[in-house]
Amino acid sequence: MSKKSYERPLIRKLETGMPGKFGLRNDLTPATHIDNIPVAELVENFGSPLFVISEQTIVQTFNKAKRAFTTRYPRVQFAWSYKTNYMDAVCRIFHREGSWAEVVSGFEYEKALRNGVDGKKIIFNGPEKSREDLTKAIRNDSLIHIDHLDELYELVELSGELGIKPRVAIRVNMDTGIYPQWDRFGFNLENGQAWDAINKIVHSGKMELTGLHCHIGTFILSAGAYGIAASKLALLAIDIRNKFNINLKYLDLGGGFASRNTLKGSYLPGPDINPGFEDYAEAISSSLHNSGFSTEELPLLILETGRALIDEAGYMISTVIGNKRLASGSRSTIIDAGVNLLFTSFWYDHKVMPAQPFSLYREETLICGPLCMNIDIIRNSVSLPMLKKGDRLVIFNTGAYNMTQWMQFITMRPAIVLISSEGTVNLIRRKEDNDTLANQEVVPAYLSK
């Protein structure tokens, strides 16, 4: 007689009354496959933990975003935010789909060039651009977004030396009604800094003022804030036209749209309450249409959307190391992926799902990583079927910022694979090993005997 499959014995107290947090939602489908590829096969071939990226999801999400904007506004251009995920394979998918590049360092700028992006289609943001970086960007006719006055003066100097008029914009920060207001980057609109910078650029005669940029924050849950930002930038552009007779080519509204993740501490799940592309597109485009541009004058709308375009396409597969009953009586499950690899677990209650079939029984579980640190918690309390050593757990919506902000700490950074739209599995970043680290280290001769 064949034996039944085992699940550890469980007893759970039944609570009556109000359904608990997320109590109404019961997702019962195990994540056995990602894009039709068995999770077990992925782990067998590439190890655990493992990051998996779905090209199909990237393309679908990108098309959704593009459609939301282009159906409402005639001229839209996305620029892929490199810092959000700069795996070359990922960047190349976005470029193939028509995205420009948005970079914030010399390293990212160089990466964009290597990915075949035309210098004219690289937006150079951020507070730190070295003289060499700026020189390169000027020569390549990239769009340079000025962050502060020292940079502005350096650009005046450089463009004089090189005899080239760079195309520039200023980053503007402003009050859009959201808290916290990001005022560390760019020039403030309300206190006159923005106008001061614009006057200096125009009067220098050395640069071509091409656009205006803002990035009001990240994971902004209010679409209305974008409406305000778009209105304010549009008004500023119209004032510039009236004062200097300069028609700006574009308004860049930056990134910051919420992905489908659930913010930590949110009572309702993200997919139910976060605004979607349509909401942001509606707010921005109606502000621009109402702002007083004639139809021919409408500037190009640039978007540097990061997390909302890639979060959903990223999965992390991890393996259960063991279970523990804590002093409080609650269950804790240890997995092989910690917060050093899943930085975003500090912000999000990531959706997690076992990769093998399970029964209806659930238990509140604390999911911890393998690091010897109290903060190494992937989920504080999540109702999960019983998991046993060796089981796989899939963590959803991990495509943004993890593969760029991960840390090598105690464990090695794992491999990343891309499942192509055709269904092939491609290694896009090798797993690190001891040699990866040893190659960077130098043991002084007197210690190497």
Partner 1 sequence: MNDKLIKDIAISESGLIFNPVTGESYSVNPQGIGILNKLREGSSLSEIKELLVSEYEVEPETAERDTLDFLNLLRQFKLTTTHGS
- Would you tell me which residues interact with partner 1 (CB under 8 A)? 3-14, 325, 329, 359, 361, 386, 388
Contacted by 25, from ligand PLP, partner 1, none: CB < 5 to 8 Å by type: none
Minimal CA–CA distance to 290: which of 240, 243, 231? 231
Q: List the structure tokens of 18.
A: 């109000």
Minimal CA–CA distance to 383: which of 8, 18, 20, 2? 20
CA geometry: angle at 307 spanning 286 and 59, to 5°? 85
Q: How far is the CB of 269 from partner 1 (least distance, A)?
A: 24
Distance CA 213, CA 400 (A): 22
Contacted by 168, from partner 1, ligand PLP, none: CB < 5 to 8 Å by type: none
Quick one: 283 or 368, whose CB is closer to ligand PLP? 283
Quick one: 326 or 445, whose CB is closer to partner 1? 326
Contacted by 17, from ligand PLP, partner 1, none: CB < 5 to 8 Å by type: none
What is the torsion angle, in degrees rounded to the nearest 10, for the CA atoms of residue 258, residue 110, residue 79 and residue 223?
A: 30
Quick one: 145 or 206, whose CB is closer to ligand PLP? 145
Tell me the H-state helices in 296-449.
307-310, 402-405, 434-438
DSSP-derived pairing of the beta strands 300-303 and 76-81: parallel
Contacts to ligand PLP from residues 78-107, by CB under 6 A: 81, 84, 102
Contacting residue, 48, 99, 218, 261, with ligand PLP by CB under 6 A: 218
Q: How far is the CB of 219 from ligand PLP (least distance, A)?
A: 6
Q: How far is the CB of 312 from ligand PLP (least distance, A)?
A: 13
Quick one: 290 or 359, whose CB is closer to partner 1? 359
Distance CA 220, CA 180 (A): 11
Contacting residue, 86, 187, 226, 257, with ligand PLP by CB under 6 A: 257
Contacts to ligand PLP from residues 361-420, by CB under 6 A: 400
Contacted by 329, from partner 1, ligand PLP, none: CB < 5 to 8 Å by type: partner 1
Q: Indicate the SS3 state at residue 195.
A: helix
Quick one: 160 or 322, whose CB is closer to partner 1? 322
What is the torsion angle, in degrees rounded to the nearest 10, for the CA atoms of residue 203, residue 207, residue 213 and residue 214?
A: -60
Quick one: 305 or 333, whose CB is closer to ligand PLP? 305
Q: Report, in angstroms and rounded to the nearest whole number, the Rg of the chain calculated over CA atoms.
A: 25
Q: How far is the CB of 3 from partner 1 (least distance, A)?
A: 5
Contacted by 306, from ligand PLP, partner 1, none: CB < 5 to 8 Å by type: ligand PLP
Quick one: 307 or 351, whose CB is closer to ligand PLP? 307
Q: How far is the CB of 265 from ligand PLP (least distance, A)?
A: 19
Q: How far is the CB of 182 from ligand PLP (least distance, A)?
A: 9
DSSP H or E stretch at residue 71: none
Q: In DSSP terms, which residues pair with 434 in a beta bridge?
A: none
What are the residues whose beta carbons fall under 8 Å from the beta carbon of 223, sequence distance 6 or more?
275, 279, 280, 282, 283
> Do 208 and 166 form a contact (C-beta atoms < 8 A)?
yes
Q: How far is the CB of 146 from ligand PLP (least distance, A)?
A: 13
Quick one: 327 or 442, whose CB is closer to partner 1? 327
Q: How far is the CB of 28 from partner 1 (least distance, A)?
A: 15
Contacting residue, 49, 106, 211, 255, with ligand PLP by CB under 6 A: 255
> Do 276 and 355 form a contact (C-beta atoms < 8 A)?
no
Contacts to ligand PLP from residues 295-324, by CB under 6 A: 304-308
Quick one: 30 or 127, whose CB is closer to ligand PLP? 127
Q: How far is the CB of 77 from partner 1 (least distance, A)?
A: 55
Contacted by 3, from partner 1, ligand PLP, none: CB < 5 to 8 Å by type: partner 1
> What are the angstrom distances between the C-alpha of 191 and each of 169, 173, 194, 197, 215?
18, 10, 8, 12, 18
Distance CA 73, CA 441 (A): 53
Region of 268 (left: φ > 0; alpha: ψ -120 to 50; beta: rest) is: beta
